[in-house]
């Protein structure tokens, strides 16, 4: 077992050797503060929701435990998906594996060391952000120390089980699938995740839980809340354990925690047994050339601007080809596609007619809020695709640096490459949801124009900050968004969206009410309206200019 | 063709390159040798515009690399020590990309690219993804890319790493051909035999300082070792004190 500890050492040494200069200290402090804020907000919201549930006589506990069950099953699913991707990368794709496999260490020991790293890497964040919710449960139910100790044990077992299942799936997949298609596994996983996510979401029909009228009787509603999830799911054992601990039933809690841990140990042993004969063979297979789904000899794009050789054409074709040939990008596209479908679908099932407020007012209010939500969706998509655009050059960035194209034109070319797809996505989101809400034509026009202004602003922040905080050594450039720069981008983007929505909110409300009451706006209101919209345009334009300038300066001064 | 004056690079407190000055005329093959960590790659990176100098200037064909980097880079063909490329492009697509970046005349491009690929024995693999290439093939592809725009200056960091004997012979002949055509070749290498064989002049860098420059006989004089080969001179001059 000594060799496993030795294999894990470089990772800890690298963390310990990380030199904290002033800049890194500031970054760490900002990141920790943001994390702490999220943590406190999560805790406060959980407390509030649970307190609200407690006020509902008879069904308060049922609702609270149903929520706990949903949370645990979500955490378990997230962990499985996350650990599949992490373990595939850690066990088969990491650059340092070449050195690791050359060491005089048995393959199963190497597997175990990498698996431990993979489990910790994918579990820490899930645990960290589940804790405030579980702590809130502890406070509401006045739980004793037993609950908190049990909570840690249960969460650890859940993470180990999820990671062990993923490692088994990955080992089997790499063994079964031809090695050259290893990367294609990501596509299959992404697609599977999309289908599972969508079906699970629709089958759970979450809207019914807050609308007892849809159930034929109160008894049926309560039965629905009481219905346990499958007994064979590890998340169900964890749920039972936490529930028993909250209700001061230590024997039941310990039994379920014991079940979870025995299963975790069993799966770990199975993994180790499988790793002996399978792991190195799978790794060897992954060393052959990878398979590409789309490979054209004379792609259509090469005929684009064929007569005019320019850096724009070169970078455009390179970006598109590299994107579509990288299957890891496809899985992300599927996931984003799924989230957008769910987003649009939610608007189609909104029970507007049951609302106590006037429908026209509510439709337009929702459409207004929808602009902000679409902005956040754009931020997420930009964070995933445009923010890592510079980091994705990786070690090949020397090609750009040594070429006769300035950093300024390079970054603006990147901006324009991403602008059109982002713009189309944003407008589809806004128009589709507004059509479902059946909003007034002027509200539709306002939404379309606002999102048209916000799209380049958000994109410029993504490209600019991505260039200011690049990481060319990442094995997966998508991870760049979890860095300090990524967090800064998301905060600034949210701030700009918030500023635009706040600036438009007042005048739009006045305009809308004037329309309903058939009144004309006063001169002061007209000035207010003009100033607000001018400021919105100014904010968006200045965001584009300043973000891009910042990115250009920082990237140029990097060398 | 290449003019370097007082070129200096500091990384924090470490002085990587210490006031290096060099003049290399057209048609010369200049060999740049030195022990590991001497400052060869840092000098090359500053010459190619990949790194800002802390002090000093670099002129390529009379163009200041700091003031006019785009014009200066247009005149350079760079072959770095490690062949990092866009793995998801094919060899031909990568050449087309480089052609676009250097704005190579589209009418000439295809024929030129085919000729280069043939010369470097890559034509039959030109439509395969670069990720399937071996280290040596990537190195040869980078050389094709560095020459696709007919640069006046070729800067090469460790040209022979990963090349097979046939590739080494071909590159050696190519450098002579390019120099004969009036281009300047600046080559950093650890292969002292190669440097002795093909370079017109050689510079030895040690601990960031250019400690000797000249033809082999001039280096013999500087090291007070007449009749010696480059290897002996190198050891003599770079011997730890």
DSSP A139-193: HHTT--HHHHHHHHHHHHHHHHHHHHHHHHHHHHHHHHS-GGGTTHHHHHHHHHH
- Which of A159-173, A352-366, A545-559, B169-183 is least confident? A352-366
Is residue B112 predicted with pLDDT exceeding 60? Answer: yes
Question: Which has the closest alpha carbon to A84: A186, A195, A231, A220?
Answer: A186
Please report which confidence band the pLDDT of residue A189 belongs to, taking 50, 70 and 90 as the band edges.
low
Are A317 and B109 within 8 A, CB to CB? no
Please report which confidence band the pLDDT of residue A232 belongs to, taking 50, 70 and 90 as the band edges.
confident
Of A314, A321, A398, the CB nearest to B101: A314
- Return the higher-pLDDT residue of A437 and A234: A234
State how far the Cα of B177 lies from the Cα of B191, in Å rounded to an integer. Answer: 20
Is residue B191 predicted with pLDDT exceeding 80? Answer: yes
Of B50, B76, B106, the CB nearest to A309: B106
Asked if B145 and B162 sit in the same domain, the reply is no
Residue B69 domain-assigned?
yes
What distance in Å separates residue A318's CA from the closest CA in chain B?
7
Question: Which has the closest alpha carbon to A458: A432, A482, A413, A490?
Answer: A490
State how far the Cα of A398 lies from the Cα of A400, in Å rounded to an integer. Answer: 5
Are B97 and A404 within 8 A, CB to CB? no
Is residue A297 predicted with pLDDT exceeding 60? Answer: no
Please report which confidence band the pLDDT of residue A328 belongs to, taking 50, 70 and 90 as the band edges.
low
Of A297, A308, A404, the CB nearest to B127: A297
What distance in Å separates residue A323's CA from the closest CA in chain B?
8
Residue of B94, B100, B104, B138 to mutate when probing chain A, most A C-beta within 10 A: B100
Chain B residues within an 8 Å CB radius of A559? 50-52
Asked if B19 and B116 sit in the same domain, the reply is no
Please report which confidence band the pLDDT of residue A408 belongs to, taking 50, 70 and 90 as the band edges.
very high
State how far the Cα of A106 lies from the Cα of A185, in Å rounded to an integer. Answer: 26
Q: List the domain range (segments joined by +) for residue B113.
A: 85-150
Is residue A181 predicted with pLDDT exceeding 80? Answer: no
What mean pLDDT is predicted for residues B112-132? Answer: 91
Asked if B6 and B38 sit in the same domain, the reply is yes
**3-class secondary structure, A221:** helix
Please report which confidence band the pLDDT of residue A290 belongs to, taking 50, 70 and 90 as the band edges.
low
DSSP A352: G
State how far the Cα of A7 lies from the Cα of B164, in Å rounded to an integer. Answer: 35
What distance in Å separates residue B93's CA from the closest CA in chain A?
8
* DSSP assignment of A417-479: HHHHHHHHHHHHHHHHHHHHHT--HHHHHHHHHHHHHHHHHHHHHHHHHHHHS--TT-SSGGG
Residue B144 domain-assigned?
yes
What mean pLDDT is predicted for residues A122-142? Answer: 90
State how far the Cα of A384 lies from the Cα of A330, in Å rounded to an integer. Answer: 12
Please give the radius of gyration of chain B, using alpha carbons only, rounded to the nearest integer.
Answer: 18
State how far the Cα of B103 lies from the Cα of B109, in Å rounded to an integer. Answer: 10
| A residues 10..49 contacting B (CB < 8 A) | none
What distance in Å separates residue B39's CA from the closest CA in chain A?
16
- Return the higher-pLDDT residue of A162 and A289: A162
Q: Which of A63-67, A177-181, A258-262, A509-513 has the highest mean pLDDT?
A: A258-262
What mean pLDDT is predicted for residues B21-44? Answer: 94
Asked if B23 and B48 sit in the same domain, the reply is yes
Of B90, B100, B132, the CB nearest to A311: B100
- Return the higher-pLDDT residue of A82 and B167: B167
Residue of A93, A298, A404, A475 to mutate when probing chain B, most B C-beta within 10 A: A404
User: Which residue on chain B is closest to A309 by alpha carbon?
Assistant: B100
Q: What is the CATH number of the domain that holds B215?
A: 3.40.50.300
State how far the Cα of B150 lies from the Cα of B146, in Å rounded to an integer. Answer: 8
What mean pLDDT is predicted for residues A302-317? Answer: 75
**CB-based contact, A301 to chain B, within 8 Å:** no
Residue B186 domain-assigned?
yes
How confident is the model over A439-477, as pLDDT tens digits? 888 888 989 999 999 999 999 999 999 999 998 887 677
State how far the Cα of A171 lies from the Cα of A281, in Å rounded to an integer. Answer: 10
What mean pLDDT is predicted for residues A338-356? Answer: 69
**A309 CB neighbour count, 10 Å cutoff:** 20
Chain B residues within an 8 Å CB radius of A557? 52
Residue B80 domain-assigned?
no
Please report which confidence band the pLDDT of residue A179 belongs to, taking 50, 70 and 90 as the band edges.
very low
Provide long-range contacts, Cβ within 8 A and 24+ apart, for A33-40. Answer: A34/A487, A34/A491, A35/A128, A38/A129, A39/A128, A39/A129, A39/A131, A39/A132, A40/A132
Of B50, B97, B132, the CB nearest to A289: B132
CB environment A162-186: b (16+ within 10 A), e (fewer):
bbbbbbbbbbebbeebebebbbbbb
**3-class secondary structure, B94:** helix
Chain B residues within an 8 Å CB radius of A322? 86, 88-89
Asked if B193 and B100 sit in the same domain, the reply is no
Of A295, A314, A394, the CB nearest to B97: A314
How confident is the model over A80-115, as pLDDT tens digits? 877 887 888 888 878 788 888 888 888 889 999 999
Is residue A438 predicted with pLDDT exceeding 60? Answer: yes
- Return the higher-pLDDT residue of A363 and A419: A419
Asked if B89 and B17 sit in the same domain, the reply is no
Are A404 and B101 within 8 A, CB to CB? yes
Chain A residues within an 8 Å CB radius of B100? 309-311, 313-315, 317
Is residue A219 predicted with pLDDT exceeding 60? Answer: no
Are A322 and B88 within 8 A, CB to CB? yes
Read off the tokens for A316: 């455009």
Question: Which has the closest alpha carbon to A361: A173, A517, A131?
Answer: A517
Residue of B101, B143, B145 to mutate when probing chain A, most A C-beta within 10 A: B101
How many A×B Cβ pairs under 8 Å? 97
The secondary structure of chain B in percent helix, strand, coil, rounded to multiples of 5, reads: 40, 25, 35
pLDDT score of B151: 95
Say which residues have a Cβ less than 8 Å from residue A119's Cβ, sequence separation at least 6. A83, A159, A160, A163
The residue among B133, B150, B167 that closes a domain is: B150
Are A306 and B106 within 8 A, CB to CB? yes
pLDDT score of A127: 86
The residue among B105, B130, B150 that closes a domain is: B150
**CB-based contact, A314 to chain B, within 8 Å:** yes
Are A318 and B132 within 8 A, CB to CB? no
Residue A396 Cα distances to A250, A295, B94, B163, angstroms? 58, 21, 12, 20
Asked if B35 and B65 sit in the same domain, the reply is yes
Asked if B143 and B164 sit in the same domain, the reply is no
Q: What percent of chain A has pLDDT over 70?
A: 81
Of B50, B71, B105, the CB nearest to A401: B50
Chain A residues within an 8 Å CB radius of B80? 398
Question: Which has the closest alpha carbon to B188: B74, B45, B65?
Answer: B45
Are A318 and B51 within 8 A, CB to CB? no
Chain B residues within an 8 Å CB radius of A292? 88, 129
Are B51 and A559 within 8 A, CB to CB? yes
**CB-based contact, A306 to chain B, within 8 Å:** yes
Which helix or strand (DSSP H or E) is residue B29 part of?
strand B29-33
DSSP A92: I
State how far the Cα of B48 lies from the Cα of B85, in Å rounded to an integer. Answer: 17
**CB-based contact, A302 to chain B, within 8 Å:** yes
Q: Which of A232-236, A535-539, B128-132, B162-166 has the highest mean pLDDT?
A: A535-539
Task: Give the distance, in angstroms, between the CA of residue A333 and the centroid of all CA atoms in the same chain.
Answer: 12
Are A402 and B50 within 8 A, CB to CB? yes
- Which of A74-88, A436-450, B43-57, B130-144 is least confident? A74-88
What mean pLDDT is predicted for residues B115-143? Answer: 91
Q: What percent of chain A has pLDDT over 90?
A: 32
How confident is the model over B53-100, as pLDDT tens digits? 999 999 999 999 989 998 999 999 999 988 889 988 999 999 999 998
**HSE-CB for A190 with a 13 A CA cutoff:** 19
**CB-based contact, A424 to chain B, within 8 Å:** no
**CB-based contact, A311 to chain B, within 8 Å:** yes
What mean pLDDT is predicted for residues A486-505? Answer: 90
The residue among B94, B128, B150 that closes a domain is: B150
Asked if B164 and B230 sit in the same domain, the reply is yes
pLDDT score of A198: 63
Mean pLDDT of chain A: 82
Distance, first Cα to last Cα, chain B:
35
- Return the higher-pLDDT residue of A247 and A190: A247
Residue A427 Cα distances to A138, A424, A435, A446, A492, angstroms? 44, 5, 12, 12, 22
Of A398, A403, A406, the CB nearest to B84: A398
Asked if B90 and B142 sit in the same domain, the reply is yes
pLDDT score of A293: 46
Please report which confidence band the pLDDT of residue A190 belongs to, taking 50, 70 and 90 as the band edges.
low
Task: Give the distance, in angstroms, between the CA of residue B206 and the centroid of all CA atoms in the same chain.
Answer: 18
- Which of A401-415, A475-489, B74-88, B119-133 is least confident? A475-489
Contact between A543 and A399 under an 8 Å Cβ cutoff? The reply is: no
Chain B residues within an 8 Å CB radius of A306? 106
Q: Could you give the number of structural domains in chain B? A: 2
Is residue A340 predicted with pLDDT exceeding 90? Answer: no
Please report which confidence band the pLDDT of residue A53 belongs to, taking 50, 70 and 90 as the band edges.
confident
Asked if B142 and B163 sit in the same domain, the reply is no
Asked if B183 and B119 sit in the same domain, the reply is no
């Amino acid at each position: 077992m000594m060799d496993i500890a030795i294999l894990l050492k470089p990772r800890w040494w690298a963390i310990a050797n990380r030199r904290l200069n002033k800049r890194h200290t500031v970054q760490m402090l900002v990141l920790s503060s943001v994390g702490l804020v999220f943590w406190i907000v999560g805790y406060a919201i959980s407390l509030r929701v649970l307190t609200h549930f407690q006020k509902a006589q008879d069904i308060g506990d049922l609702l609270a435990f149903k929520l706990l069950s949903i949370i645990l099953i979500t955490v378990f699913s997230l962990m499985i998906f996350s650990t599949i991707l992490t373990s595939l990368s850690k066990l088969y794709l990491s650059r340092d594996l070449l050195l690791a496999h050359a060491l005089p260490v048995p393959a199963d020991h190497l597997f175990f060391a990498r698996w431990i790293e993979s489990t910790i890497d994918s579990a820490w964040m899930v645990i960290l952000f589940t804790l405030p919710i579980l702590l809130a449960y502890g406070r509401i139910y006045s739980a004793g120390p037993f609950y908190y100790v049990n909570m840690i044990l249960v969460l650890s077992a859940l993470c180990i089980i999820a990671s062990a299942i993923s490692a088994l799936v990955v080992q089997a997949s790499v063994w079964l699938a031809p090695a050259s298609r290893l990367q294609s596994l990501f596509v299959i996983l992404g697609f599977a995740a999309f289908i599972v996510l969508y079906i699970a979401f629709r089958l759970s029909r979450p809207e019914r839980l807050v609308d007892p009228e849809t159930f034929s009787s109160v008894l049926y509603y309560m039965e629905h809340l009481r219905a346990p999830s499958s007994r064979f799911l590890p998340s169900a054992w964890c749920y039972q354990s936490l529930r028993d601990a909250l209700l001061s039933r230590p024997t039941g809690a310990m039994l379920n925690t014991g079940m979870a841990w025995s299963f975790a140990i069993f799966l770990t042993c199975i993994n180790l047994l499988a790793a002996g004969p399978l792991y190195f063979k799978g790794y060897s297979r992954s060393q052959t050339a990878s398979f590409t789904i789309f490979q054209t000899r004379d792609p259509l794009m090469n005929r684009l601007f064929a007569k005019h050789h320019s850096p724009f054409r070169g970078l455009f074709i390179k970006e598109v080809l590299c994107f579509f040939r990288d299957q890891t990008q496809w899985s992300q596209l599927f996931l984003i596609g799924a989230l957008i479908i769910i987003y649009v679908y939610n608007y189609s099932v909104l029970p507007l007619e049951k609302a106590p407020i006037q429908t026209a007012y509510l439709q337009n209010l929702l459409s207004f809020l929808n602009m902000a939500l679409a902005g956040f969706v754009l931020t997420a998509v930009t964070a995933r695709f445009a923010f890592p655009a510079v980091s994705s050059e990786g070690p090949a960035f020397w090609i750009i640096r040594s070429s006769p194209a300035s950093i300024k034109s390079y970054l603006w070319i990147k901006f324009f490459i991403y602008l059109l797809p982002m713009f189309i996505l944003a407008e589809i989101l806004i128009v589709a949801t507004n059509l479902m809400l059946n909003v007034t034509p002027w509200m539709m026009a306002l939404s379309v124009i606002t999102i048209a202004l916000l799209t380049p602003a958000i994109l410029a922040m993504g490209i600019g900050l991505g260039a200011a905080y690049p990481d060319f050594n990442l094995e997966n450039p998508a991870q760049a968004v979890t860095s300090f720069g990524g967090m800064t981008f998301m905060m600034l983007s949210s701030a700009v969206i918030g500023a635009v929505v706040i600036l438009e909110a007042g005048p739009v409300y006045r305009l809308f009410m004037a329309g309903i009451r058939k009144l004309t706006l006063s001169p002061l209101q007209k000035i207010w309206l003009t100033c607000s919209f001018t400021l919105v345009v100014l904010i968006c334009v200045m965001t584009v200019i300043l973000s891009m300038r910042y990115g250009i300066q920082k990237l140029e001064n990097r060398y | 063709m290449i003019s370097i004056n007082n070129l200096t690079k500091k990384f924090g407190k470490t002085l990587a390159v210490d006031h290096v000055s060099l003049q290399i005329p057209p048609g010369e093959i200049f060999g740049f040798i030195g022990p590991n960590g001497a400052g060869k790659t840092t000098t090359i990176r500053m010459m190619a515009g990949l790194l800002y100098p802390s002090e000093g200037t670099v002129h390529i064909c009379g163009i200041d690399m700091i003031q006019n980097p785009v014009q200066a880079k247009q005149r350079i063909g760079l072959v770095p020590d490690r062949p990092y490329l866009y793995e998801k492009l094919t060899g031909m697509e990568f050449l087309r990309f480089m052609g676009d970046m250097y704005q190579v005349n589209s009418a000439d491009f295809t024929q030129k690219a085919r000729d280069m690929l043939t010369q470097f024995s890559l034509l039959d693999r030109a439509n395969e993804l670069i990720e399937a290439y071996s280290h040596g093939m990537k190195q040869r592809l980078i050389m094709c890319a560095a020459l696709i725009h007919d640069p006046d200056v070729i800067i090469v960091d460790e040209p022979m790493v990963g090349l097979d004997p046939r590739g080494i012979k071909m590159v050696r002949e190519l450098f002579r051909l390019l120099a004969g055509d009036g281009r300047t070749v600046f080559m950093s290498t650890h292969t002292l035999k190669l440097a002795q064989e093909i370079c017109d002049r050689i510079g030895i860098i040690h601990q960031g300082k250019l400690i000797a420059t000249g033809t082999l006989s001039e280096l013999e004089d500087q090291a007070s070792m007449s009749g010696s080969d480059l290897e002996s001179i190198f050891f003599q001059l770079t011997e730890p004190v």
